[in-house]
Amino acid sequence: MTEAFDAVDIIRTKRDKGTLSPEQIDWTIDAYTRGVIADEQMSALNMAILLNGMDRAEISRWTAAMIASGERMDFSSLGKPTADKHSTGGVGDKITLPLAPLVAVFGVAVPQLSGRGLGHPGGTLDKLEAIPGWRAVLSNEEMMRQLGTVGAVICAAGAGLAPADRKLYALRDVTGTVEAIPLIASSIMSKKIAEGTGSLVLDVKVGSGAYMKDEASARELAGTMVALGTDAGVKTVALLTNMDTPLGLTAGNAIEVEEAVEVLAGGGPDDVVELTVRLAEERLQAAGVAGADPAAALKDGRAMDVWNRMIEAQGGDPRAKLPVARHSEVVHAPADGVLLRLDALAAGQAAWRLGAGRARKEHPVQAGAGVRLHAKPGAVVRAGEPLMTLLTDTPDRFDRAREALAGAVVIGPEGDRPDQRLILGRIAG
């Protein structure tokens, strides 16, 4: 077979800050998927894209080519609007758990295809697998049936969705090109568009515990993804949210499920409730639902009812006791004053080192491991008071977790107040 293009010419074009044609992009994704383009060649192209960027048309075509590499889902037979959500990842980010059943309360189908954690950001499926009996892998038929009966499903994405992205992501992970905004945006949006949802709300994290450390980069990424969704006919909106501090009071797996259930029961930490309600409002608005009151649905138990049915439909027991770590160690406040900073990245790394996360995708996680916070920035603390509790099944992990927390806590004079804004901005198509 004679190939339409040559990989070296494609690489040179981006190296020299040129623009790839739609035909070149289609061939590149197809040829890499088929093995015609070698990993070292695609690595060079990824680096050229990282350094020189892509314009909107290039990113849109790159995304479409990745979608075309696999199957697309179709929820039109459900007869009701669909709404999806994606978070770019953070520490303590259990929002998907209460959010999916909350949105389903109002007659919107919620097909939430999620992943497992790698590194310090937690994975939604890892959290849910702490529930006895719950299973992440569903067939398309099971997923459709559950959406029709329960209204919400959180499960693993099938291997048939954007398979080119799976191969590209693994390569970016080991070649220092994960941060390339065109590649991040197309990776996320190719899967989300292939899922077939009618509307999408993006939670783009900003800060130490996020992939995007500064607001300008996060805003660029959010704008790029909103444009991709708009170009594909998916109503898309993005919120920029603060990830300098962990969300809520837990970072782990079972302990985050516990906190999510507290939110569904009408309680829970203020920041988790605030973001859950705001994202629900955005999803319902994007899906065309008017007059909904998601805050009320948390308080009166309707969202909890959907949660229980959703967990049971996937084999889980929502009333079963969650796993508890066998060992714990308390970290105390070093001084009196106001807690000005509790670094999200440090807390996430500590939870990861305690066993809540994994360094390689094939590694297991500990369901009970993690970090439980006893104070958040803005709280007045006293020397010797508990600031956080470290949890693990393997106590030899405590030393490395404490190392990760070195310098994570800043305490200032009483009267000082940290910036506690949670939602930093909104970007719509």
Residues annotated as catalytic are: 86, 165, 172, 187, 191
Q: Are 392 and 355 in contact (CB under 8 A)?
A: yes
CA 231 to chain centre: 22
Beta bridge partners of 381: 337
Instruction: Identify the H or E element spanning 241.
Output: strand 235-242
Phi and psi angles of residue 411, each rounded to the nearest 5 degrees, phi first: -115, 130
Residue with tokens 């690595």: 43
Q: Are 228 and 427 in contact (CB under 8 A)?
A: no
Beta bridge partners of 416: 414
How far apart are the C-alpha atoms of 107 and 105, rounded to whole Å? 6
How far apart are the C-alpha atoms of 244 and 215, rounded to whole Å? 11
Q: Are 182 and 216 in contact (CB under 8 A)?
A: no
Tokens (6 digits) for 10 = 């494609």
Identify the CA nearest to 352 among candidates 88, 86, 91: 91
Instruction: Identify the H or E element spanning 83.
Output: strand 83-87
- List of residues 6+ apart from 374 with CB closer than 8 A: 249, 385, 386, 387, 388, 389
Mutual orientation of helices 39-52 and 163-173 as an angle, nearest 10°? 80
Q: Are 315 and 135 in contact (CB under 8 A)?
A: yes
- Residues present in the chain in total: 429
Q: Are 203 and 86 in contact (CB under 8 A)?
A: yes
How far apart are the C-alpha atoms of 39 and 81, rounded to whole Å? 40
Identify the CA nearest to 153 among candidates 195, 106, 94, 112: 112
Q: How many CB atoms lie within 10 A of CB 277?
A: 20
How far apart are the C-alpha atoms of 168 and 118, rounded to whole Å? 16
